[in-house]
Amino acid sequence: MTGQPATEWSGIGSAGTGANVPMLEVRDLHVQIAARHGTVRAVDGVSLEVGTGEALGLVGESGSGKSMTLRAILGVLPSEGKITSGQVILDGVDLVPLSNSDLNHIRGPKMSMIFQEPMSALNPVMRVGHQIAEGPRVHLGYSKAKAAERALELMRRVGIPDPERRFRAYPHEFSGGMRQRVMIAIALSCDPEIILCDEPTTALDVTIQDQILRLLARLCAESGVSLIFVTHDLPVVAQLCQRIAVMYGGQLVETGDVREVLLDPRHPYTLGLVRSAPDVDYVRDSLVPIPGSPPSLVTPPPGCRFHPRCAFAEEDCRVLPTPLRVLPGGRSTACLHYERCQEAVAADRAAAADRTRS
């Protein structure tokens, strides 16, 4: 596995050149978790593609299976969890059948992860510089001095001021934003092709979140590294990602270009998310919550999993399976009656226009 030109850190210009070839492909992934009250089908037939240098946002509520999808891709499921079928193809290699020790050669050099809580993901008794240098030492065979040099360079790259002094600091001496920068430096340390981010900015303040999002966007553009960005925060996805995949009850319900999906949803769940989130630029008289609660993943409802909470549900929604269907324009939806969403969005727009006029 040699570095292909498209994945080299060749600076501006490399981004997007290989966007047609998926860097990572997930095919019909199923993850089950054994629990006391039955088998939880946490991920139920998810298929995804991430191109080179592309940022994909994976959104959904807690319990929608977005984090489990991420963990399954990285091969770090909890001990009760298992991939029951499906493939995770990275650069032409299926990762699912690989053993843990084989995966260790992939995690780090080809694929890495940024977690939500940097304080619990970092080693509290190890100097920050050494934590960043550890990856290159182990995976790339760097000497101690060379790895340290690499760590310093990475610290500079992610915007840690005064890296020479900070190299010898411990995680507790850093602020939340700086710790997340350290996490990003570690994730980048072996020059991976794809970085999986599990709500990396949820624990941060909005000004620091803004800094981290800009940093990730810059790294993506500069080095052609791909991102999967898991979050429940739609505006964050709008800010950073090109494509979005919305998950509900362990399945994908809508995918497509970020702007198209968020501004003109074609699935009632996406529409519900957009309507229920307060938006700074668009003040409404009252927010429209999604009624009901998320489905049980032990005994999911038949047909469309969203139908018990859906205002547009019809008889066929309760029976027919709802796989993702491709719509004109390259986006896809799992909704059988997506035209209803289109009408609802148009009605919302008309109402908003009325209000601004009056």
Q: Are 211 and 40 contacting, i.e. CB atoms less than 8 angstroms apart? A: no
Q: Which is nearer to another protein, 288 or 311 (CB)?
A: 288
Maximum separation of any 2 CA atoms in the chain, in Å: 69
Cα 336 from chain centroid (whole Å): 26
Q: Which is nearer to another protein, 74 or 160 (CB)?
A: 160
Establish if 150 lies at the interface with another protein (CB under 8 A).
yes
Nearest distance from C-beta of residue 32 to another protein, angstroms: 23
Establish if 218 lies at the interface with another protein (CB under 8 A).
yes
Structure tokens at 332: 């896809």
Phi, psi (5° rounding) for residue 165?
Answer: -80, -40
Q: Which of 84, 85, 276, 299 binds another protein (CB under 8 A)?
A: 276
Establish if 220 lies at the interface with another protein (CB under 8 A).
yes
3-state secondary structure of 186: helix
Helix (H) or strand (E) holding 5: none
Q: Which of 280, 315, 354, 357 binds another protein (CB under 8 A)?
A: 280
Q: In the stretch 19-58, what mask flags binding to another protein with x, by CB under 8 A? A: ------------------------------------x---
- Please tell me the distance from the alpha carbon of residue 23 to that of residue 35, in angstroms, as a whole number: 33
- Please tell me the distance from the alpha carbon of residue 236 to that of residue 210, in angstroms, as a whole number: 9
Nearest distance from C-beta of residue 167 to another protein, angstroms: 15
Establish if 105 lies at the interface with another protein (CB under 8 A).
yes
Q: Which is nearer to another protein, 92 or 289 (CB)?
A: 289
Stretch of residues binding another protein (CB under 8 A), selected from 31-39, 74-82, 240-248, 325-333: 240-248
Establish if 277 lies at the interface with another protein (CB under 8 A).
yes
Establish if 283 lies at the interface with another protein (CB under 8 A).
yes
First to last CA, the chain: 63
- DSSP 3-state helix, strand, coil percentages of the chain (rounded to 5)? 35, 20, 40
CA gyration radius, the chain: 21
Nearest distance from C-beta of residue 322 to another protein, angstroms: 20
Q: Which is nearer to another protein, 33 or 290 (CB)?
A: 290
Nearest distance from C-beta of residue 154 to another protein, angstroms: 10
Residue 277's closest CA among 236, 228, 247?
236
Q: Are 251 and 46 contacting, i.e. CB atoms less than 8 angstroms apart? A: yes
Site size toward another protein, by CB under 8 A: 81
Strand duo 38-51 + 22-35: pairing: antiparallel
Q: Which of 247, 290, 335, 336 binds another protein (CB under 8 A)?
A: 290
Establish if 215 lies at the interface with another protein (CB under 8 A).
yes
